[in-house]
Chains A and B, each alone.
Chain A
């Protein structure tokens, strides 16, 4: 293959993927490492990359301690309740105590945060959300990253992490290729912060054909956060905790501002409230501790997102769909109507296009809602990701191994979707995690932990060969057939993605089976994933663009395997409404009030699973409740 090899040597901090997490990491790293060499490798262009590429209309994680609104522990309790207890509370507390300082800097940099004219505080959408004019949120934080980074490699798709030959559990950099020139890129680095994205498109989407791009999470979120880390042998946690979103049908437009700020609400096709009738049955599944509608009503304790999904799914399955969002009342107020539209234009333009195309005016018609296909990610209302160390002053021994946000691989850090057990970080929390990882990575280097790293030429040559194999394979076998895409020697990345989505949907609880699975189905799924893995070795890529799709697919495949392994391991239904284990339909605190941790042996591909203790923040509130019980 005639592609050049471009080596970037002597890097201190390499940031892989610069969405909100990666821009935060690159920005902050410069403060703690003023003389350090900081490099960003990004698959797209950092001005518009990651999940925030098209903008946001709200920052969903802001404490407001400045205005006396919330303390960090309040947010931890919220995330704990929403995720049915399964969160890393040390990491969450740490993120929450720093997140406001990120938001205050965003305002200083020019991000328009709305103010409440009466109080002067930021305009709240809900208890945790503040409203912004965030069309340029990403370009603004990208400016910050540009100020700090020595060099930014846009359009470099990172495929693998490099490992140290003297200590196989220590990171040594990363490799990838440029999706324009095709050049092979080698980054030799003392520390690596993986801030790549979670995974859309591993479950069959509800849309078909051209519309397959209309997924809730960005189609370019290829699970590289997990593919890179799993491939390097890092331990992962809570990978079973995929998320299903209740959203406006087809366009997947956000509902947060509609529920919280516009005060719209849902009803079934008969115009009836439907949620409460499902609570008693659901309470039997999860226990009163997790679902107590009376207490929720009295104390404003939120009902977990997954349980509200469960009510929606059950009502539709009972034949009383579609579920409608009642907008016709709120939209009579022209100010609220405008907010409703701006909300889409700011972050999901496609929903506005869809309503314009179908003449849905929410002022005169209540739009339909649906539940999405599942997504695997770690920064929205779910916490898939790597098993990372917490901060020194908070974490118990099981959660602490020296450096904040460091994975179980030395020198390898995570931020945003890459870090497990930290749901509800959203954009600002991901940026904050990037900052925390950057400080810790600088300390790791300053402590001399990255001395004597050695990368053999063999490792670089092997990876190069592996990376370009789909192009080679295509070239060898293409002319055996006359034309077209049907070839007995290879499949193309789209064909592989279709197969992955179909099997994940059918065997691992996708939308097509109402999110239901069981041990038998999961085992069949694992078998099919293994067969797919063999075929992924025979992917054919026609050009460099397809080569990128090939590697995205490989990352999605690694992610999917972890999802199935974790789902198989946790023998209970912890999050009804996200997925159901038909053979263990109840929540089981006696055996499963634990975090699941996995490791895939990079040499053999074998998985080992373990349980890790779940620690909770205990303050006066918890003590009082424990005393009552």
Chain B
């Protein structure tokens, strides 16, 4: 659903401009605040809504099929690793709070720096293995699958 920006909450910081995958959140030259320049290229992905430090961005369902008067709000907290949603129906009959984890680890801390790990041997380079394989395929001592190991051949022809 296309995004819009509340005048009194936006301070023109540009976080939304920086994150929008569709490049449609721009800063208005007169008001110095953000706005959606191309609603028909908005995927309602909420990337800008989540990135806004002032909760200044909201979404109003597409005019061609969504009646006014609904609300889906979100707060994403990287430090706590959770995202909280609130869905309010147009008729007021449903008002839901939904909470979900977004990560189980501190940001980026558990991703190895591959420049510093011990590099691949020539044997590894000549094999079909990728980094951390074969171990990470099955997390046991098993090897990578091949046509031979799995009793397969590649044959030309019609098979279903």
Contacts and interface: CB of A to CB of B under 8 A. Distances in A.
A214 B19 contact: no
Interface in B60-77: 61-72, 74, 76
B34 interface: no
B160 A48 contact: no
A53 B21 contact: yes
Given A66-B140, A358-B90, A353 B100 contact: no
A101 B137 contact: yes
A155 B66 CA distance: 32
Nearest to B139: A66
A435 B151 CA distance: 26
A619 B151 contact: yes
Contacts of B40: 209-213
B87 interface: yes
Interface in B103-131: 103-108, 110-115, 117, 119-120, 125, 128, 130-131
A48 B150 CA distance: 39
Q: What secondary structure prevails in chain B residues at the interface with A?
A: loop
B130 A101 contact: yes
B8 interface: no
A213 B42 contact: yes
A532 B130 CA distance: 45
Contact of A110 (B89, B104, B136): B104
B147 A589 contact: no
Given A101-B137, A213-B39, A439-B130, A71 B111 contact: no
A356 B90 contact: yes
A143 B132 contact: no
Interface string A112-151: 1000000000000000000001011000100110111000
A109 B89 contact: no
Interface residues of A, number: 107
- A-B pairs, top 4 by smallest CB distance, nearest first, are A110-B105, A54-B45, A211-B62, A101-B136
A345 B128 contact: no
A615 B130 contact: no
Contacts of B2: 210, 213
Interface of B: 1-2, 18-23, 26, 37-47, 59, 61-72, 74, 76, 83, 85, 87-91, 93-94, 96, 98, 100-108, 110-115, 117, 119-120, 125, 128, 130-133, 136-140, 142, 144-147, 150-160
B21 A49 contact: yes
Given A101-B130, A218-B43, A616-B156, 15 more contacts: A44-B20, A45-B18, A65-B145, A98-B130, A101-B136, A135-B76, A147-B108, A147-B112, A213-B43, A350-B44, A358-B65, A394-B146, A435-B130, A613-B156, A626-B159
B159 A111 contact: no
Interface of A: 27-28, 30-32, 34, 43-45, 47-50, 53-54, 65-66, 71-73, 80-81, 85, 89-90, 93-94, 97-98, 100-101, 104-105, 107-112, 133, 135-136, 140, 143-144, 146-148, 155, 179, 207-215, 218-220, 250, 289-290, 338, 341-342, 345-346, 349-350, 352-359, 361, 391-396, 435-436, 439, 443, 446, 545, 548, 589, 593, 613-620, 622, 625-626
Nearest to A94: B128
Contact of B111 (A143, A356, A446): A143
Contacts of B102: 112, 133, 135-136
Nearest to A552: B41
Contacts of B107: 110, 143
B66 A53 contact: no
Contacts of B119: 31, 34
A140 B23 contact: no
B101 A219 contact: no
A45 B66 CA distance: 29
Contacts of A355: 89
B160 A625 contact: yes
A619 B152 contact: yes
Contacts of A619: 150-153
B154 A617 contact: yes
